[in-house]
Structure 1
Amino acid sequence: MNITDAAYNTVRDYPGGSASLAPRIGIKSPAVLNSKINPNTETHHLTLAEASKLMALTGDFRILHALAVEHEKVVIDLPEIPECRDMELTDKVLCVGMKGGDVMSVFREIMADGRITSGEVRDMSRVIQQMHIVLAELNKQIQVCIEAPETEKA
């Protein structure tokens, strides 16, 4: 589905359609919204802000998914994590980022000559194993944060 069809279907499938949505996204009349989503109309178009409001109000993300497909990307939902101001957790997340960089750096080095030796496989495996350990520690800390969301550590 292309973005034009996604916008059209988002409005049409919403209970009350354009009559319900137009005033809620700041468009003066349902007729204008209908023009903006009509694939055959060349004079009116949804703005990015209007498309974003449509998605927020309807909970329908077909426009976003169509954009992602058009640009060969994917969209994933972020997990809902309660607020937690744990500096140890922040440090752990940064460490994950650094270890992830190590994995990529080592891989780049071992692929520099276009082949992988058994020693390089062991080196890569060691870096990946370290990443697993860091991720397991991060998972533990996040679970603590979820179980005690009011935690506030400095």
Structure 2
Amino acid sequence: MNILDAAYNTVHDYPGGASALAPRMGMKSAAVLNSKVNPNTETHHLTLVEASKMMAMTGDFRVLQEMNAEHRKVAIDLPDIPECRDIALTDTILRIGMKGGDVMSKFREMMADGRITAGEAQDMSKTIHRMQVKLAQLDSQIKACIETPQKEKA
């Protein structure tokens, strides 16, 4: 498949096809949308904004997936994270981000000569352990931000 086929299939696989999707996208007619996704039409083209809107409305991300494949990239779904205004949480994640390179830097140093000594392995274990402690703290802070039904009733 390619990007044009993905756009065509997104429209035509949508329940009700272009007739149902075009009005939701703010297009005057299904014929316009059909023309924009027809790979053989030279005069009408789907804009990036329209493609994004189409994906949001249909929940069909084949266009994005094909663009990623064409450019040897990947997209992942981001997790739903509850809103939390905890400054300490923000501080923790920033510190991990800034210091998180320790594991990678240590690994790079360790592999510089193409072998791993017992001392290097021990140093790496300590670095990994420090990172695990930081991540456990972050996990705990994130869980503390989740509002439980009991908290909401109080």
TM range (shorter): 0.7 to 0.9
2:141 & 2:19 partners in 1: Cα distance?
47
- Deviation of 1:71 (Å): 2.1
* Count of residue pairs the alignment pairs up: 150
Name 1:135's counterpart in structure 2.
135
Name 1:98's counterpart in structure 2.
98
- Deviation of 1:17 (Å): 1.3
Which letter does structure 1 place at the counterpart of 2:37?
Answer: I
1:124 & 1:43 partners in 2: Cα distance?
60
Root-mean-square deviation (CA, aligned residues, Å) is 2.0
Residue 145, structure 1, aligned to residue 141, structure 2: no
Deviations 1:83-123 (A, max 9, x none): 11000100111122123211122122222333332222222
- Deviation of 1:27 (Å): 2.8
2:104 & 2:43 partners in 1: Cα distance?
48
SS in 2 for 1:147: coil
Which letter does structure 2 place at the counterpart of 1:110?
Answer: M
- Deviation of 1:76 (Å): 1.7
SS in 1 for 2:80: coil
SS in 1 for 2:100: helix
1:92–1:31 CA distance, 2 compared to 1 (3 A): same
Q: How high is the TM-score relative to the length of structure 2?
A: 0.86
Residue 17, structure 1, aligned to residue 17, structure 2: yes
Same amino acid, percent of matched pairs: 69
Q: How high is the TM-score relative to the length of structure 1?
A: 0.86
- Deviation of 1:28 (Å): 2.7
Which letter does structure 1 place at the counterpart of 2:100?
Answer: G
Question: For structure 2, which runs of at least 5 residues remain unmatched after alignment?
Answer: none
Structure 1 residue ranges, 4+ long, deviating more than 4 angstroms after superposition: none
Residue 79, structure 1, aligned to residue 83, structure 2: no
Tell me which of the two structures has the higher relative contact order, counting C-alpha pairs closer than 8 angstroms and 6 or more residues apart: 1
- Matches of residues 54-69 of structure 1 in structure 2 within 5 Å? 54-69=54-69
- Matches of residues 92-131 of structure 1 in structure 2 within 5 Å? 92-131=92-131
Question: For structure 1, which runs of at least 5 residues remain unmatched after alignment?
Answer: none
2:148 & 2:95 partners in 1: Cα distance?
22
